[in-house]
């Protein structure tokens, strides 16, 4: 999809296509639609990140709470978004042994109790061992630091999803390099 096609999308079409670049947050796409015309994919990404950065902490936490637990109930019930399913599969989280699943579940619970939102990491940029290591390490972060870190991960996920939509006709593209945040 090229940028002129994006700029010609109706509000409904834009939200339908871009409504999940930030997991289960079509409001983000709905908000940035009014900033058309966009000059590039980077322009869309900047509009999205500016919107997220402009939110109060409670709004940022709300965005984080829209994400599923990694290897959690949504995965087990087949209720992940197609994007999350592809991302978790890429990271090796869809084929866990029962003991691994129980371990990740316990860590996810501990993390959510400590921070009030699910552990967020760009699964497509990481593998299972790295994700587990990060989950352990980030549990010791202070809440304000972890909020910033989790939002950085949301932006990485958004970057890859945008590039998947714009450059490769779908969310399954796994090779785009996200920005350094």
Residues annotated as catalytic are: 67
Handedness of CA 5, 125, 156, 119 (dihedral sign): positive
How wide is the angle at C-alpha 93 spanned by C-alphas 25 and 82, nearest 5°? 35
Helix residue ranges, H only, 55-181: 57-65, 73-76, 82-90, 98-115, 128-138, 143-168
Residues contacting 165, CB < 8 A, separation 6+: 1, 17, 18, 21, 171
CA 18 remoteness from chain centre: 13
Can you tell me the distance from the alpha carbon of 176 to that of 158, in angstroms, rounded to the nearest whole number? Answer: 11
To the nearest 10°, report the CA torsion of 101, 143, 27, 69: 0
């Amino acid at each position: 999809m090229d940028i002129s096609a994006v700029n010609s999308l109706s509000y409904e079409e834009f939200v339908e296509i871009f409504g999940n670049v930030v997991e289960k947050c079509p409001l983000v796409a709905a908000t940035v639609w009014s900033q058309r015309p966009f000059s590039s994919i980077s322009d869309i990404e900047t509009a999205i990140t500016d919107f997220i950065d402009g939110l109060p902490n409670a709004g940022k936490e709300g965005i984080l709470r829209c994400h599923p637990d990694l290897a959690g109930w949504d995965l087990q019930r087949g209720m992940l978004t197609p994007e999350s399913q592809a991302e978790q599969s890429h990271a090796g989280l869809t084929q866990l042994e029962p003991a691994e699943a129980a371990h990740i579940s316990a860590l996810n619970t501990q993390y959510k109790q400590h921070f009030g939102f699910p552990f967020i990491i760009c699964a497509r940029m990481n593998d299972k061992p790295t994700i587990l290591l990060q989950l352990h390490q980030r549990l010791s972060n202070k809440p304000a630091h972890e909020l910033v870190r989790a939002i950085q991960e949301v932006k990485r996920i958004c970057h890859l999803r945008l590039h998947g939509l714009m450059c490769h006709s779908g969310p399954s593209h796994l090779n785009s390099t996200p920005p350094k945040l």
